Each structure stands twice: as C-alpha cells, then as structure tokens.
Structure 1
C-alpha cells in the first residue's frame, strides 16, 4: 500500500492541507484513505446512542453500520495504542493512504509549516520529511512549496509514490 504523511506542529496547517490533498487527489481519479493521529482522548460516539451504550456496557468493539457508512470503534481499555502498521493493515486497498501526524514513524512525509506558530522546522533533523509546505520562503536541502499550492504538493506526492 502506498502511504505518504503530512506532519507538523499544532496549528501548522496539517488538517487543511490534508483536506485539500484528498480533494485534489481523488479529483484526479485516485482512491484515497486517511489515518489521523490524535494526541488526546476523543470520541466519535454520543452518550445516549445505542452504540455508545454498547461501549459503556463493556463491548470491546462496536460496529455501527448503515447504507451510507460503517464505523468500527475499538476500546483499548488499557491496552497499548496500535502502531501505524497495524492500523494500515485494517484498511481496504486504495491507491494512496494519507497519514496526518505520526511524525516519529518512518514513512515519507511533507511538513506543514507556519512561521507564526514560532515552532522550529521538524525537517531540519528528520530525513523522512521529503518536502515542506510553508507560508514563508525557506532555504532547505529539499523542496519547499507554498502551503496553499495544493496542486504542486499533490504532484510531488504522487510522483514520490509512483502514481
């Protein structure tokens, strides 16, 4: 499976870039799935709903299905967070999986960078970052794209993964 990441510090523009890349790449006829890492507790379920009640009652996994979508929720209940490779193995085959976050994993990535956040570039010390999408010009030993030039970033990623 072809994978490519978008990484960066908080408020660097990762999610916006991911959203635009999914739109651009699927618009070219490719199938895309995404994996997003969250550093905090989150819930996609709502108290009072049947699926939430199943989880609260102790179910390890709950699948919620309709004719429009399927949601598969797994409760870790103290177990280790799954590694990225295990999550990727759960996905149905697609042309490309875009991964948001997982900055410490070894897959190739584009770093989203906004100068106003005051954070340092991750790319300076990370060879898995193959390019940077920035809101300011940068002098680096790898390609630098305008953060809003989605077409150029998509072209780069697709070339990198051979699509």
Structure 2
C-alpha cells in the first residue's frame, strides 16, 4: 500500500496548524489513522536545556529516546548529514491512511493552500503548481476548487476523494504494469 500524502500549505499565520488539528478528530471519526509531519526551520528542543535528554545530546549522543508509558520521542543529531527528505521521514512512521504534511515546500506532493485574504498576504497558488485546492474564508476567482475553511466535513471529504482517486490510479498502474510483464507496484 502506498501512503497517501497531502501537504497543507500557506503563509505564516494563515491557519495551517488550526486546519490540521480540526481535521484530525474528523478523520478519526471516519475510522481513519492519520500521521502528521511538521517541518521546521528552527532547532528542535523537546526538553529544556539542562534536562537529562538535552544533556545527553549536548554530550554527543547520536540519538536520544525519551520514553514514557504514554509516548516516546527520538531526537537524532544530523551533524554533517543532509536534511532528511520527506520520503525518508514518511518511511519512519507507522503506516496510516493519510499523512498530512506542514512544510517541506520543495517536495513534490499535492497541497491544499490555507488562504485568508484578510491577512493581506499574496496567495501561494499562482506560482505553485503543487497546490490543487484552496481552503479559504473568502470567495476566490480561480479554477482551483475552493473549500470553506470552517467546513471541516467539506475539507475532509475533499481529501478523502483525493485519496480515493490516488488509490485508484495506483491500482490501475499496478495492474497495467503486471499485464505488461513488469513488476507490479
């Protein structure tokens, strides 16, 4: 099974995180599992300096895992390694029905742009062909599908329709490859 990966993009303060956090319980109510990957340009600090795991990292640990009965986190120092790709990050996660991505703008994945004209910033979609729809609080003059930002069922339903189409395309490609004697994907 190929994971369905969808980016949520937009300018700073547009509501990307708010949309994702509203979608998560909606998807859970549909019986779906969802992973989220958030890219940051800032250093990650999961514990304050001086705490045990931060001290382990500062002392030279390549990876530090913090675990409890409720969750765990792994912090890996990249040192001289290249920044991990989105595909590499997705591979580290458990399989899920949907993986939502905030950030990783240079990666070639379909995206929904969160756009609020009242914020006074230009939209991203005219210069970004990866944007396939807008989640907005205004009427827009565009050929892209415009989803009501405050209608989570509409946005979630659109994402599920995209997932279904992506799955059908993957299945058709696998069938086509197997009929031509190539290895099915």
TM-score bracket, shorter-length normalisation: over 0.9
Aligned residues: 163
For the Cα contact (< 8 Å) 1:5–1:101, is it kept in 2?
Answer: yes
| Structure 2 gap ranges (5+) | 168-185
- Alignment deviations for residues 90-119 of structure 1 (CA, whole Å, 9 cap, x no partner): 111111111112222211110001112222
Q: What is the deviation of 1:17?
A: 0.4
Q: How does 1:12-51 map to 2 (within 5 A)?
A: 12-51=14-53
SS at match of 1:160: helix
- Taking only aligned residues, the RMSD between alpha carbons, in angstroms, comes to 1.4
Pair 1:137-2:139 in alignment = yes
Q: What is the deviation of 1:77?
A: 2.2
- Alignment deviations for residues 108-160 of structure 1 (CA, whole Å, 9 cap, x no partner): 11000111222211111222111101121101111101211111010000110
| Structure 1 gap ranges (5+) | none
Pair 1:154-2:156 in alignment = yes
SS at match of 1:46: coil
Return the structure number with greater relative CO, CA threshold 8 A, min gap 6.
1
Q: 1:7 aligns to what?
A: 9
2: CA distance between counterparts of 1:36 and 1:71? 14
Q: 1:114 aligns to what?
A: 116
2: CA distance between counterparts of 1:26 and 1:127? 30
SS at match of 1:48: coil
1: CA distance between counterparts of 2:125 and 2:137? 15
Runs of 4+ in 1 over 3 A off after TM superposition: none
User: Which protein is richer in helix relative to its size?
Assistant: 2
